[in-house]
Amino acid sequence: METDSTLSITLITMDRAASRTVLTRSDGKEAQLPLDPSPFEDSSALARLDFTPAYGALLATTLKGDQILFEMPLEGAGDQLAGRLVVYLDQNQWSMISNTVHNEQKSSAEHQVAARKLKEWVEQRRIVLPASVGHYYETGKRFDTAQRYGLGLTVLQYSRGWQMRDPLQVRRNEIHDAFCHRLERLGSMRSAPVITLDPNALYSPTRWANSEHPPLLRDQLAFQTRALMAAAASIDVMLDTQQLERGPDTGWTAGSQRFSDWLDESGQDSQQKRNAVDSYLLRDLQLELAEEAAAAQVPVDLFQQWGPKGWARALAESPAVGLFREMLHSRHLNRKTTWHPNDLTDMVYLSCAAGYADFVVCEKHMRDPLQHGLKRLGRPARVYRRLAEAVAAIEDVLDTPPVPAEPAQ
């Protein structure tokens, strides 16, 4: 029999229609509190949230009756991936899967089979399909409300709360850890997981320049509260009925095109061009390099002594930034390259994904420089253009028995 000291909250329900928060205790008793102020905005597509702290699960129900199950981070649980393969899908692949679910006449039988297998493996806890902030942005800016809802629902239902840490933060972490490694301060490395359930991992703190950072919460209840708020906000944002505004033109596309055109006409050999691309990249990263060198406590004279060649060498050894550098080399060295507004987004997210995921599926114009970069870095290239090909390769890995570990001598 439970006593007052052993009773716990087993279910937290936030009901929009009833305007109530219901707390259910382990002995079955309930407490109802007014949902005031309501967290549901007028544009929200959510009707109800059910959270089970003990099992680390959040179930969201939309106004249309669709349901979304999210795995939740468990404090002190260690690696919750538990050996699952990580499969990163570019936005066009998510659109393809969404069509198989919500608009079958726009999808082939091949795509439908591939989508069903992915969903089956997710439910069997054999793979994860992480979402990124890029997916949120690309989905939110779609014009058609119904298509935006269907696509967002698909990403949420298949990803189940798994996310790729913001590539802007991954880049900073890699630069910081590269400096720590060079200084042999391994204990100071951040080593933050990139594919994760961590609250707010989708957004780098650098994106919060005009808002207060969330407080650092320590105890278990505070951690669960933060995790619940972050997960609920992610679902709500993805399904919000208001379309996102497109961001301003930063001039990156035009600048990249001018640089590529200049390289074409420069008469330099390939190594000279690579050095020029490195200088171009380091100019873009100068703020991150300086701030992360300071965070890693690199002496100023040593930082200056390393110079551009030393910084570029440190970047080359980093999983995501090193691959982004190789993609820049590949595209800028390819004569008559034409740059498009979405190229920067694709390169940033796909280089990060390929640095940490087991499989990546993307369009051909990004797959080729990605594969080329992985080959130059001596890394396995599990990058595919067609979803069916990727699914077949994933199936081969899932069906291959693990190699038993060698006994310790």
**136-190: pLDDT as tens digits:** 999 998 878 899 999 999 999 999 999 999 999 999 999 999 999 888 998 999 8
pLDDT at 208: 58
Rg for the chain (alpha carbons), in Å?
Answer: 23
Tokens of 121: 């493996």
pLDDT at 79: 82
Q: Alpha-carbon distance 153 to 159, whole Å?
A: 10
Residues 20-45 have pLDDT tens digits of 999 999 888 999 999 888 889 999 99
Tokens of 227: 């995790």
Of 250, 134, 249, the residue nearest 203 (C-alpha):
134
Residue 390, exposed/middle/buried by CB under 10 A (0-12, 13-18, 19+)?
buried
The CA-atom distances, in angstroms, between 125 and each of 67, 236, 356, 383 are: 18, 24, 18, 22
CB 30 within 8 A of CB 23: yes
pLDDT at 3: 56
Query: Does residue 37 have a cis peptide bond before it, meaning omega lies within 30 degrees of 0?
Result: yes
Q: Alpha-carbon distance 229 to 219, whole Å?
A: 16
Q: Which of 78-82, 127-131, 227-231 has the lowest mean pLDDT?
A: 78-82
Report how far Cα 365 is from the mean position of its chain's Cα atoms.
21
Mean pLDDT for 205-213 is 57
Q: Is the pLDDT of residue 2 over 70?
A: no
* Phi, psi angles (nearest 5°) of residue 195: -95, 115
The reply to whether the predicted model has a pTM over 0.85 is yes
Q: What is the DSSP letter of 273?
A: H
Coarse DSSP helix, strand, coil percentages of the chain, rounded to the nearest 5 percent? 50, 15, 35
Q: Is the pLDDT of residue 383 over 70?
A: yes
Q: Alpha-carbon distance 370 to 368, whole Å?
A: 5
Q: Alpha-carbon distance 119 to 128, whole Å?
A: 10
